[in-house]
């Protein structure tokens, strides 16, 4: 009787272990599959500085706000996503 109960518990633990291993393996293989959705972008915004020169206004700096984004469906997939621009300081 004791051996029968012990054998059932061992089989139960082995069965649960196999189920957990299969679930873990399938979740790992699902996460390494092709990503779905579009590009993902960094949280931080960066400035891409430019120079504006004109005879009337002189020389000014301005910058574009951008984020680094990754498109999982293209080669290395990295690109800059520009948002808006602002004036910087006038240069003497």
Q: Confirm whether 14 is domain-assigned.
A: no
| Domain count for the chain | 1
* DSSP result, the chain: -HHHHHHHHHHHHHHHHHHHHHHHHHHHHHHTSPPPSS-EE-SS-EEEEEEEEETTTEEEEEEEEEEEEE-TTSSS-EEEEEEEEEEEEEE-
- Evaluate whether residue 25 is within a structural domain: no
pLDDT in tens, the chain (92 residues): 666 656 666 565 566 565 666 666 665 554 455 556 778 999 999 999 999 888 887 888 999 999 999 988 877 788 999 999 998 876 66
61 DSSP β-pair partners: 51
9 falls within a domain = no
Identify whether 24 is part of a domain.
no
Does residue 22 lie in a domain region?
no
In a domain, 23, yes or no: no
Does any domain span residue 34? no
Containing structural domain, residue 56: 40-92
Would you say the pTM of this structure is higher than 0.75? no
């Amino acid at each position: 009787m004791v051996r029968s109960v012990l054998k059932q518990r061992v089989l139960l633990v082995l069965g649960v272990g196999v189920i957990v291993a299969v679930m873990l393996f399938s979740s790992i293989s699902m996460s390494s599959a092709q990503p779905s959705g579009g590009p993902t972008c960094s949280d931080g915004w960066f400035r891409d500085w430019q120079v504006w020169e004109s005879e009337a206004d002189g020389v000014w700096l301005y910058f574009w706000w951008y984020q680094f984004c990754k498109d999982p469906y293209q080669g290395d997939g990295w690109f800059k996503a520009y948002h808006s621009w602002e004036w910087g300081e006038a240069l003497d």
